[in-house]
Chain A
Amino acid sequence: NAGVTQTPKFRVLKTGQSMTLLCAQDMNHEYMYWYRQDPGMGLRLIHYSVGEGTTAKGEVPDGYNVSRLKKQNFLLGLESAAPSQTSVYFCASSYGLGNYGYTFGSGTRLTVV
């Protein structure tokens, strides 16, 4: 009963470096989402996916790319990290539209120096 697992939990990057955040879910959910949360603010949607091989932009997609090659995994990439991308990143998943809840991961705290 792992639910949604995010790796890594913490990371410090230098400006210009790249990295990939991994989100894995074991609930056979179709829909997956990446959010970011800045201090004192609510979560904002970066990208999302409604199934294997499909992705779409959310509210704040600039500077990020995503891939969903396998149904259970949703990857968030930063090609050239910037200090403005310092944030806590949360992944979530759901069965889809209708009467379903959402499960969130515990987050990845990223600092770009």
Chain B
Amino acid sequence: DAKTTQPPSMDCAEGRAANLPCNHSTISGNEYVYWYRQIHSQGPQYIIHGLKNNETNEMASLIITEDRKSSTLILPHATLRDTAVYYCIVRVEETDSWGKLQFGAGTQVVVTP
């Protein structure tokens, strides 16, 4: 089973910041949090990932709480092209997991004009 919980959907106004929450209360100390998005039926697109510290790149920011039990993906200025399903994934770091990503249902984000 996926180790994350996300809201099934959310709307965001174009030009505003989109804040996508994710709960991962059973995360272990060495497990990374990954965010991907999927537009229509295209291949998942990497957004950002992190372990403990907050991360920022040209696409988004990732805020991880101090206890690491939850995180928030921030799209600073949402555009219509950001409409997609967003997946929050905790990568299992057990020795026999081999870096497998376990996808949940994700959050359907709709950006409106």
| Total interface residues in chain A, CB < 8 Å | 30
Q: Report whether over half of chain B's contact residues are helix, strand or loop; otherwise say mixed.
A: loop
A77 close to chain B: CB less than 8 A: no
Contact of B99 among A4, A88, A90, A96 (CB under 8 A): A96
Taken residue by residue from 51 to 87, chain B's Cβ proximity to chain A (1 for < 8 Å, 0 otherwise) reads as 1000000000000000000000000000000000001
A97 close to chain B: CB less than 8 A: yes
B28 close to chain A: CB less than 8 A: no
Q: Assess the B43–A97 pair: CB atoms within 8 A.
A: no
Q: How far apart sit A48 and B100, CA to CA, in the bound complex (Å)?
A: 8
CB contacts under 8 Å to B, within A30-62, are 31, 33, 35, 37, 41-45, 48, 50, 56, 58
Residue of A nearest to B41 (CB): A88
Q: How far apart sit A109 and B2, CA to CA, in the bound complex (Å)?
A: 24
Q: Give chain B residues whose Cβ lies under 8 Å from the Cβ of A102.
A: 34, 36, 46, 101
Q: Give chain B residues whose Cβ lies under 8 Å from the Cβ of A109.
A: 41
Taken residue by residue from 24 to 56, chain B's Cβ proximity to chain A (1 for < 8 Å, 0 otherwise) reads as 000000001010100001111110010100000
Q: Assess the A101–B100 pair: CB atoms within 8 A.
A: no
Q: Assess the A44–B49 pair: CB atoms within 8 A.
A: no
Known: A42-B105, A42-B106, A45-B102. 20 other contacts (CB 8 A): A35-B103, A42-B103, A42-B104, A43-B103, A45-B100, A48-B100, A58-B100, A90-B44, A92-B44, A92-B101, A97-B93, A97-B98, A99-B49, A102-B101, A104-B36, A104-B45, A104-B46, A106-B42, A106-B43, A107-B41
